Amino acid sequence: MELTYRPRRLRRTASLRSIVRENILTPSDFIYPLFIHEGNDIQPIGAMPGINRWDLESLITEVQRAWELGIRCVVLFPKISESLKTEDGVECFNEKGLIPTAIRCLKQEIPEMTIMTDVALDPYSSDGHDGIVSPEGVVLNDETIVNLCKQSLVQAQAGADLIGPSDMMDGRVGAIREVLDDEGFEHVGIISYTAKYSSAYYGPFREALDSAPRALSAKPIPKNKNTYQMDPANSREALIEAQLDEQEGADILMVKPGLAYMDIIHRLRQESDLPIAAYNVSGEYSMVKAAAERAWIDEKSVVLETLLSFKRAGADLILTYHACDAAQWLIDM
CB 118 within 8 A of CB 75: yes
CB 190 within 8 A of CB 176: yes
Size (the chain), residues: 333
Q: State the DSSP H helix or E strand holding residue 227, giving kind and residue range, or none if neither.
A: none
Q: Which residues are catalytic?
A: 196, 256
Q: State the DSSP H helix or E strand holding residue 308, giving kind and residue range, or none if neither.
A: helix 299-313
CB 207 within 8 A of CB 46: yes
CB 173 within 8 A of CB 195: no
Angle of helix 323-332 versus helix 299-313 axis, rounded to 10:
100
The angle subtended at Cα 134 by Cα 205 and Cα 153, nearest 5°, is: 60
